Structure 1
Amino acid sequence: MQSTLRTQVLKAVAIVAMASAAVSCRTQAPASSTGTSTSTTSASERLTNERLTEQSLIPMPVSVTATNNLFELTSNTDIYVQDGSPELRNIGQYLANLLNPSTGLGIGVQTTQRAPKQGNIYLALRNDAALGDEGYELTITRDGVQLVANKPAGVFRGIQTLRQSLPARVEMTSQQAGPWQIPTGTIRDYPTYEYRGAMLDVARHFFGVEDVKRYIDLIAAYKMNALHLHLADDQGWRIEIKSWPRLTTHGGSTQVGGGKGGFYTQEQYKDLVRYAQERYITIIPEIDMPGHTNAALASYPELNCDNKARELYTGIEVGFSTLCTEKEITYKFIDDVVRELAAMTPGPFLHMGGDESHVTPMKDYIPFINRVQDIVEKHGKRMIGWDEVTNAKLKPSTVAQFWAKADYAKSAAQQGAKVIMSPATKAYLDMQYDSTTKLGLHWAAYIELDSAYIWDPATMVPGVTKAHILGVEAPIWTETLTNMEQLEYMAFPRLPGIAEVAWSPSTVRDWNTYKVRLGKHGARLKAMGINYYPSKLVQWSEQ
């Protein structure tokens, strides 16, 4: 979605016991273990807290209680998972696959009916209503690691915290020197917002399956749970629709700049869905309409009011295309597309766009959106639309995605619809960092790291409170981005900050402390092979 204005490790952790009493560091209510405020803690306690802070957890957990010791992974360490849950077994294997390449410890996965003997990692499910569906409790002692949650998704989120508690070199794909130590303590954590997403535009420039999987892994590392794929736009149609095959063979043949395009077969798309599901991420496909549809209009002349196929388009202008909203063939087309997408998409949402349809008269746009909502609902899905869809009468199940106009977000809330917060001035990852940035655009804003982090979804739009908000999403549009290296440079390190906005309570979020965590997190970004923007606002450590 773009505005009409734009035409463009860490060293091994070694925590030394500094006092006989454990130090408690709670992120929601800072206090020492004796109950005194952090401003009166001793010098030794402050030093210990600083070393624990070097774990640089992003997103910041709800509560961290630190104790003064270490657990060490050794060649005798295994991962034990509670018996009776194949999902937990798969998560255990995911963790082993993360740990083994860098540690070389050959950590195995075993099932058990009780907590294992010391020296191991234990993953289990436990009834703890306060944790919700994605919360977890991570307990690290000298003798072992225990990660428990209500649901497997919570265990998976906790693993992302566990990996960040290890030296950054654990992220590397070749064997590294030990020791592999984790500071001891307890973390209780759960998300602020139910929906925490990233959007990837594969229509302007096409990104293949392996690139998308890479992005899935990167957003999973920061506890995001949705990947919104922008699959069709003026420049290309990227998903095979068997009942309308020219959408991809013709409409998907090019991209911005005129290069070779591409598309996902239905089997490739299903593979991406499975890959995301294994990381507890829901894929949300988007077919933008009635505007942003030139690729479809070039593929099938009958979708145009004059029955003349349009030329393929490789520029970056917006707002010039529209489906013919008066023709029944248009709704047959939409029904077929939605039917095939719904059958391949187990998640609850289909995104139907609705933005920047400047050549569609409002008298035609409103009944079109109403009818599309009916089609999506008929196929058992909930519709998401960009904020312009609030011009129509929204169904209670419809979600409006705020990107530009606060009045539209407010209208959605007044209609009883949920809102996804994606303000272009804060959350659009393709916006340039400053005037020297060579990639991206700046029609919405220049967005430095502090700007991307310092905002509260629940107070950004008057009349849209936390109760109205489904969650937060960070879109990245690809008019100027042609490969993963460029994509990563624009997404990182803003994406981890927006992930924290979506996950962490506002009471634990502070730019001055976050930028310190992020700076120390630089070593992990480097170990993960991420090409990130080294903002001068942050003091970076890459060791």
Structure 2
Amino acid sequence: MKKHLALFLVCWSSVLPAGTKVDLLKQIPLIPAPRMMQDNGDPFPFPRRISIQGWPLQDAEQRRAIRGVIDLLSAMPDVELVCDRPADFSILFSHDPAVDHPEGYVLRITRSGAAIRARTAAGKFYALQTLYQILGFSYYGPGFLYEGEETELPDAGEKKYVPAWTIHDYPRYSTRSLMLDLGRAVFSKAYIQRIIRIMAHLKLNTLHLHLYDDEICGYRFDSLPLGKENPLALTKTDLQELVRYARDHHIAVLPEIESWGHVKSVVYHFPELYGGPGMYGGASFAVGEKTFAVLEKMYGEIADCLPDTAAIHVGLDEARWFVAPGEADKGYTPEKLVTIIYDLVQKVARERGKHLTVHMWADHKGRPIPAWVGANLVLQPWKYRHADQERIVQAMSQYGGKDKRPVMMGAGITSACRSGDFSATRLWCLAGDPYPNVLGATLCLWGTNNLADRLITLYAGASYLWSPQNLQPAEGDPYSEDLRFRFERNMQNWQLIFPDAAEAALDFDRGPEVFLGRYLQPPFNGKAVTPTLEYKP
């Protein structure tokens, strides 16, 4: 039997000598790339009768988890789908405590069926996503994957084949996150639910919701006036439903409550909390008791929406230091501010019987963190450009290490650095690989709600987070331009078999496109979404 590292999956050899016959089934672009694959023999014709066995379909939550595969197979006109009955090809699930990783799985495909082994529901779910892509490309792929290629299977243009593979798979990083910027753009509940389905299919497991910023408050608080000026803001009920919906897709929701800088949309309602501008304009809080009281209410309301074990991100980036009038004698320092905010989060957690981990941005060169906080506080450095490669390596050298606190890496795009998202994410995931305290990375989508336009950030980033060492660029491609082209080509093919990620569907659920707090489309193009954008404290 022949072993293949996952690099083969995307037909990375983009230029073939004339007359070369390509291995047909190695054209299937599995994303994220699995850790290890093995041939079980020759490919076989696509089965005409498929059964699903060993999955608790009577449970509503479990039915939702398998819905994608059921929809895929049900849409195939010449395939009959049955449940818990014999068929030509059976998809069989089994619990196997011997599978090493909690999110890992073993998928074995033979002519008689697909056997999935995992020790957790998440592992089974991720195996399903891989199987979805294999069956989807095997059935529909002859129409677009192999066009113009002479293949090993002479009738590939007319007939459909399934590869006989065994896949052993698990993620490199335990936290694989996407961040949506509700502080500069608008996201409806339906749109976020679609994004959750895409995330789950790509095996991402954390949704970071940046709830407000200087420009917009994207969440309408029940206990405070914040967000009342935004007709498109998420409500508390929306957030609770999204937390449940995400959980059904093996995704945790990580809300971010800016707690020092980037708070102009809060100061709009509480001008007495204004200390001065942030590092790049906007607003920073005045550090003092009134600010802490408002923060405690915000933490409490958001904590009410979260499960018993969860996390809250408190921001703390790009702020300037201002102490509230009359409180200069209280000994506030940036380090003490971290302690106060951490204690506030833990207070609301205790009052609700919950365990809340605190995340915060590491800012430019970091800030002192009280040693006693320990592993319950996660630091997050960030960079978004390929040109930042040296700084990314330096950040990992500073924050990574066996005896250091947990770290999340900030990757993806920012409104000011759109071109470096792909390669910067790859650099982070490779730089963090040697360090055991690196939990993972966040694929940030700063400034915009147009995911269709930046889907490569999510598609490629998911693969880097799952298996970073399998995706090195070729020699002579220092900026990953050729690698990016191949990813984009394969992403477009993937969109053909995964309709949740179709551009038209994304745009429909998105509604009006918003960038940095302003509408980009008629009839409101150029107008502020909310008055907080143009407010001057």
Q: For the superposition of Structure 1 and Structure 2, which TM-score range results when normalised by the shorter chain? A: 0.7 to 0.9
- State whether structure 2 residue 292 is matched by structure 1 residue 331: yes
Q: 1: CA distance between counterparts of 2:173 and 2:134?
A: 23
In structure 2, do the counterparts of structure 1 residues 516 and 298 end up closer, same or farther at CA, with 3 Å as the change threshold?
closer
In structure 2, do the counterparts of structure 1 residues 305 and 476 end up closer, same or farther at CA, with 3 Å as the change threshold?
closer
Q: 2: CA distance between counterparts of 1:104 and 1:386?
A: 52
In structure 2, do the counterparts of structure 1 residues 387 and 290 end up closer, same or farther at CA, with 3 Å as the change threshold?
same
- The answer (yes or no) to whether the contact 1:292–1:357 under 8 Å persists in 2 is yes
- State whether structure 2 residue 432 is matched by structure 1 residue 457: no
- The answer (yes or no) to whether the contact 1:56–1:518 under 8 Å persists in 2 is no
Partner amino acid for 1:392? Answer: I
TM-score (norm. length: structure 2)? 0.73
- Residue 242 of structure 2 corresponds to 272
- 1:419-434 to 2 correspondences below 5 Å: 419-422=407-410, 427-430=411-414
1:169 positional shift: 9.2
- 1:272-421 to 2 correspondences below 5 Å: 272-304=242-274, 318-326=280-288, 328-346=289-307, 348-360=310-322, 364-378=333-347, 379=349, 380-388=355-363, 390-393=367-370, 395-396=373-374, 397-404=376-383, 412-413=399-400, 416-421=404-409
Q: 1: CA distance between counterparts of 2:235 and 2:312?
A: 18
- Residue 447 of structure 1 corresponds to 420
Partner amino acid for 2:413? Answer: L
In structure 2, do the counterparts of structure 1 residues 398 and 179 end up closer, same or farther at CA, with 3 Å as the change threshold?
farther
In structure 2, do the counterparts of structure 1 residues 452 and 329 end up closer, same or farther at CA, with 3 Å as the change threshold?
closer
- The answer (yes or no) to whether the contact 1:387–1:408 under 8 Å persists in 2 is no
Match of 1:162 among 112, 131, 154: 131
- The answer (yes or no) to whether the contact 1:123–1:147 under 8 Å persists in 2 is yes
TM-score (norm. length: structure 1)? 0.72
- 1:141-156 to 2 correspondences below 5 Å: 141-156=110-125
- The answer (yes or no) to whether the contact 1:319–1:357 under 8 Å persists in 2 is no
Partner amino acid for 2:292? Answer: Y
Q: 1: CA distance between counterparts of 2:180 and 2:197?
A: 13
- State whether structure 2 residue 103 is matched by structure 1 residue 134: yes
1:92 positional shift: 3.3
Q: 2: CA distance between counterparts of 1:29 and 1:102?
A: 29
- Residue 170 of structure 2 corresponds to 190
Q: 2: CA distance between counterparts of 1:71 and 1:137?
A: 22
Match of 2:466 among 480, 491, 503: 503
Q: 2: CA distance between counterparts of 1:294 and 1:120?
A: 57
Q: 2: CA distance between counterparts of 1:178 and 1:238?
A: 50
- Residue 3 of structure 1 corresponds to none
Q: Identity of paired residues, percent?
A: 23
Q: 2: CA distance between counterparts of 1:296 and 1:517?
A: 40
Q: Secondary structure at the match of 2:303?
A: helix
- Residue 35 of structure 1 corresponds to none
- The answer (yes or no) to whether the contact 2:215–2:265 under 8 Å persists in 1 is yes
Partner amino acid for 1:429? Answer: I
Q: Secondary structure at the match of 2:314?
A: strand
1:97 positional shift: 3.0
1:167 positional shift: 3.7
Q: 1: CA distance between counterparts of 2:7 and 2:265?
A: 54
For 1:312-353, what per-residue CA distance to the aligned partner results, in whole angstroms no more than 9, with x for missing partners? xxxx99444122212x23222212211221121125211111
For 1:497-531, what per-residue CA distance to the aligned partner results, in whole angstroms no more than 9, with x for missing partners? 2212111151x223249665653443222453544
In structure 2, do the counterparts of structure 1 residues 65 and 152 end up closer, same or farther at CA, with 3 Å as the change threshold?
same
- The answer (yes or no) to whether the contact 2:426–2:468 under 8 Å persists in 1 is no
Partner amino acid for 2:458? Answer: L
For 1:26-50, what per-residue CA distance to the aligned partner results, in whole angstroms no more than 9, with x for missing partners? 21799xxxxxxxxxxxx9xx957x3
Partner amino acid for 1:455? Answer: L
Partner amino acid for 2:93? Answer: L
Partner amino acid for 2:431? Answer: T
Q: 2: CA distance between counterparts of 1:221 and 1:82?
A: 18
Q: 2: CA distance between counterparts of 1:364 and 1:370?
A: 10
